[in-house]
Structures are given as C-alpha cells and as structure tokens.
Amino acid sequence: MISFVYPDPGGSEEKIYELIRFNNNSMKKLLIISTLIMSQALNLSADTEKDIRADIKNVTVYPDRAQLNHEGSFDLPAGKTILKLGSLSPYIDAGSIQVKGSGDFTILSVNHRNNYLENLDALPEVKNIRSQIEALQLKVEDEKAAITVLNEKEAFLVANRAILVKETTFSVEQLKNVMELYTSNMEQVKTAVLKKTRLIKDYEKQIENLQRQISEKFGKQQLPSGEISVTVLSGKPVSGKLSFSYVVGNAGWYPSYDIRVDNIASPVTIYYKANVFQNTGIAWKDVKLSFSNATPWVSGDIPVLYPWFIDYYVPAPEPRIMVRGVKSMAQREDAAKMEEVVTVADEAVNQYAEAAPAPMEKTVGETTVSFDVAVPCTIEPDGKVQTIEIQRTTTPAEYKYVSVPKLSPLAYLSGNISGWAEQNLIGGEATLYFENTFVGKSFLNVNQLKDTLVVSLGNDNSILVKREKRQDYTSRRTFGSNKTETYSFLITVRNNKQSPVNITVNDQIPLSSNSGIEVQAEELSGGRYDRQTGEVNWDLEIKPQETRQIILTYSVKYPKDKTIILE
C-alpha cells in the first residue's frame, strides 16, 4: 500500500519539493517491482511450447490407407510443456492417433490440427530445392547484368570507330592496325555475350526442372501441415521418448502376380507382388514397410438380424424418363482401359542364379496376414505405383488343357494347385509366362470354397482344335404335327507337342424349358452328359502328333407351327 506524506503548510518550499520527489521515486520503484512480479507470475502460469522431431520408423500399408509410426527423444523442463510434432500429412485420421511416452512425466492431453499457416512446401526437401532455384536466379541476374555492360562496350566501339574514320587521317598501316584492334575487341565482346546467353539458357532450364520436381512431388496446391500437440507434466527436468501412431488416407497397396511355368512337367512358381502408392504430402524415407490384408475401416461388430416383415407387393408406377447416351460404369471402365502389348525376350542361359526378392517376414495372425520388408524403403508422395516382391512360392500343380470349341478354337492350359490357402493370397491380376514366353493376363480368383485353386495359364498354339458341322447328318424333318431338327458336329483335336497332353473338351446340348419341346442326345462319343446343365465333357489323353475326333449329335422335337432358333 502506498502512503503519501503531506507537507506542513508552515514549512519551506524546498521541503515540499523534496517530499514530492521522494514520493515520485517511490512510485517508480514500486511500479517496476510490481511489473517484475506480474511478469514472473505470467511466465509461471504460461505453458512452455517445444517443437520436437520424431522420424517415421515404420509404415503399415493397408489396401486403401496406411498407419505411420514415429519415434523421438526430447528433454523436458520442470512444469507443464506442450510438445509439438509438425510437418505431418494433412490427411491424418484424428480418431486413430495414439501417443505413448517413456520417461518420468505424465501425458495430460493429445490434440491434432492442420496448420494452414505452415504449408508442406516448407519442408526441408522443398526448402533445399527452392534455395537452389534462388541461387540459379541470382546467377541469371548476374549474367544479364554482364551482358548489359558488354552491349554498352559494343556501342562504344561502334561509335568511336565512326568518329575515328570520319575525322582522322590514317596511313594504310595505321588504318590496318585500328581495324585489327576494333575487330579483336568486338570479337571478344560478341563471344562473351554468346557464352553468357548460353549460360542463361542453361540456368533457366535447370530452374524449370527444379520447379517441375516440386510440382510432381507436391502438386501445385499448397497443402496445410498436419500437427500433433502433446501436453505433458514433469516435476523436474527429465529426458524422455514419445512414439506416435496414426492412420492417413491417400495411400494403399494392391496385389499382382507373375505366374511362371517352364513346362507341364515342372511346378508352378507364383511371384507375389505388392503395388504400393501414396500421395499423403510427405515422403516415407528409409522406413520399414509392412503390407497387411486387414481392413480396419470395416466395422468389427457382429451383424444383428432384425424382424423381417413382408406384405403384398404393389408395384409403383414407372416414371417416364428418357436416358440417352449414358454408359454403365463397367462400360466406362472398359473404355478407359488401354490395350497393353508386352514383349518378353527369351532368358539367356548363364551361370548366374535368378535374383532373389528382398528379405521378407510373414506374420500370420488370427484374422490378418502381414508381410514385413526387412530392407528400408523410400516411397515418394507422388502417387506413382512402386512394386515390391513380397513372396515367391514354388508349388506342385496338376496341369490340364481345356477347350470350348463352340466358343473358341483354342486350347487353354490350367494349373490345379492344392493347398493354396496356406500361401495367404489375395485376388489380383496375374501376368502369365509359359516356357519363358509371355502368354497373356488373367485374374487370380481366391474367393472360392474349393481345396484346389485353378490358375489359367493362357492358350497353347501347339494344340489345334476345330469344330465343324456334319452336313450329311444335319437335317430338318416333319412328322405329323411335329418337326424334328437334328444337328451333328465333328470336333477334331490335334497335339503337335513332343509330349502327351490331357485335355478336357466342353460342349453343350440345349435344354428344354417347355413341355412341348423334346431334346434328345443322339451320339456323344463317350462324353459325360449333364442333363441339368446340358453340358457335355470329354476327357482325352492325346499322344504326341496324334489327332483325335469326337462327335456330338442331338435332336430337337417341337410342334411344327412353332419356331425355335437353334443356330
């Protein structure tokens, strides 16, 4: 509390002024002390903020997202501190953030936000590229300034040449020396300008390439920087560690396969590949990758059956809507696909063994399977697909040819693989190689309830198949009120290979869906006839250079006043 001393009215003026000065000095000292106390109190009440660094250690990639794991160390002062981990992806799922600490401190809260004041283009890598661009721009300015000086020198030489020639009398020898001096100086100027112009073009090309590099990696749009803040409390200065885990979008992987068969006496080799991509805004540099088939975005709750009420169906009136020029999704996707032509050269025979894939560890859980790559990888945030081989298996297979001559004159090789479920495969596109030759593409379908996985290995041109109508045995006759049409086909199969083959030939007989239509199998050459489906199958073993023929004949009887389309 401040006390003021009032002077005695009977005192002198000097005493009055001294008292005033004393009171003023006391006020100043008191204000300074109060300010210091308040500042100290504010500092004590304010939380200390500290930026920390936590590098990405490993990434688990799911089919359409990825989980990133960071680890970092730091020093903490006593009291409450807000640790900020910045320069993260803006596509973080806030609900997936997990933070674990190691040390003598307490985690009070975890918060996430996107910092729109700090863009991802402020990352060290981008800063480095921008600094290179700025250095090149300075060089361009220097060269342009030097060209300006040289142009002035050229103008000076031209002007002085005109004056000297006009106003001075030279002998032939003097004129010759003057012209040589002028020519040599002008040549130096022109050569210097040409060199500097070429340097400027080179610098501008480098600047364009660096700007394109930034554009390809991060796009033209400036993304905000993701940021995780962790509030901790410590009773004394300590050192500690934090591990961060979160899920980001704009990343994923999908499987593809290379299926190779040297010959039908060798096992099938399946190369299992992971095609990984990410466009999260930050690079994954030298991280350990894991590929998981888990689907964490799918609800893990058991579905519940609710009462199912039924009633009479009352059709709603159809709206009269005309839709023109609209293609289905499948048609749009087919139209967007480009025809891919792949040429595979024959492999040279040498003493070197085939290169092995990167070391991989497979972890099989109760409901998921993950493949852990032992070698650190770098995945840039450019959305480009990077292919990594994660598994290679050699499996015995039973090879068999299949032909459907009614639809195609080709024989297709298939490999029947038993015990395929142990390989933990996922359905995906397969590239087929037979006898070191690319034979086409197929789809590896693992969504089946069979013990044997059938893998299509493309067609074999060494097996010829032909289906032709036997005109002499094909007829159309009328008896009374009925008409009978008979169709007969000759199927020829030739094996031009140097080894015997087993081939299944499939054809069909029409099925009657009306009691007035009767279908009869006349001749099948020993084929198996399924009356439920109408399918006829022949299992043939054909020797090298052998030709086999089978006959399919059937008849259809129906009222003569009706029409049936059989061809």
Provide the mean pLDDT of the chain.
79
Residue whose entry in the numeric block shows the structure tokens 């009306």: 514
- The mean pLDDT of 411-434, rounded to a whole number, is 81
Q: Which of 4-18, 26-40, 252-266, 431-445 has the lowest mean pLDDT?
A: 4-18
Residue with the bigger pLDDT between 317 and 557: it is 557
pLDDT for 447 beyond 80: no
Q: How confident is the model at residue 26 (pLDDT cuts 50, 70, 90)?
A: low
Q: How far apart are the first and last CA of the chain?
A: 114
Q: How far apart are CA 337 and CA 378, in angstroms?
A: 29
For the chain, the structural domain boundaries read 1-46, 124-218, 464-559
Burial of 456 (0-12, 13-18, 19+ CB in 10 A): buried
Averaged pLDDT, 530-542: 94
40 has a pLDDT exceeding 70: no
**Between residues 440 and 100, the one the model is more confident about:** 100
DSSP-based three-state secondary structure for 270:
strand
Whether residue 73 is predicted with pLDDT greater than 90 in this model: the reply is yes
Highest mean pLDDT among 13-17, 57-61, 393-397: 57-61
Per-residue pLDDT of 480-526, as tens digits, reads 889 999 999 999 999 998 889 999 999 999 998 888 899 999 999 99
What integer pLDDT is reported at residue 123 of this predicted model?
58
Q: State the Cα–Cα distance between residues 445 and 58, nearest whole angstrom.
A: 31
User: What average pLDDT score do residues 211-234 get?
Assistant: 78
pLDDT, tens only, 543-567: 999 999 999 999 999 998 888 888 7
Residue 48 has pLDDT above 90, yes or no: no
- Is residue 80 classed exposed, middle or buried when 0-12, 13-18 and 19+ CB atoms within 10 A define those classes? middle
CA distance 150 to 276: 55
pLDDT-derived band of residue 329, with 50, 70 and 90 as boundaries? very low
pLDDT of residue 338: 34
State pLDDT tens for residues 75-130: 999 999 999 999 899 999 999 999 999 999 999 999 999 887 766 655 566 778 88
Single-letter code of the amino acid located at 286: D
CA distance 493 to 464: 6
Q: At the topology level of CATH, where does 464-559 sit?
A: Immunoglobulin-like (2.60.40)
- Residue 277 and residue 252 in contact, taking contact as beta carbons nearer than 8 Å: yes
Higher pLDDT, 153 or 219: 153
Q: What pLDDT does residue 413 have?
A: 87
Tell me what pLDDT residue 371 has: 86
Pairing of strands 398-403, 386-395: unpaired
Asked if 377 and 294 touch (Cβ cutoff 8 Å), the reply is: no
- Burial of 250 from C-beta contacts in 10 A (0-12 / 13-18 / 19+): middle
Flag whether the pTM goes above 0.85: no
Highest mean pLDDT: which range of 301-305, 351-355, 388-392: 388-392
Q: What is the pLDDT of residues 352-377, one digit of tens each?
A: 556 666 666 666 655 577 888 888 99
- Give me the pLDDT at residue 124, please: 66
Check whether 388 has a pLDDT greater than 80.
yes
Q: Which of 24-28, 381-385, 532-536 has the lowest mean pLDDT?
A: 24-28
Residue 38 main-chain phi, psi, to 5 deg: -65, -40
Exposure string for 469-484, b = 16+ CB within 10 A, e = fewer: eeeeeeeeeeeeeebb
Local structure of 313: helix, strand or coil: coil
Percent of the chain with pLDDT over 70: 72
- Per-residue DSSP letter, 237: -
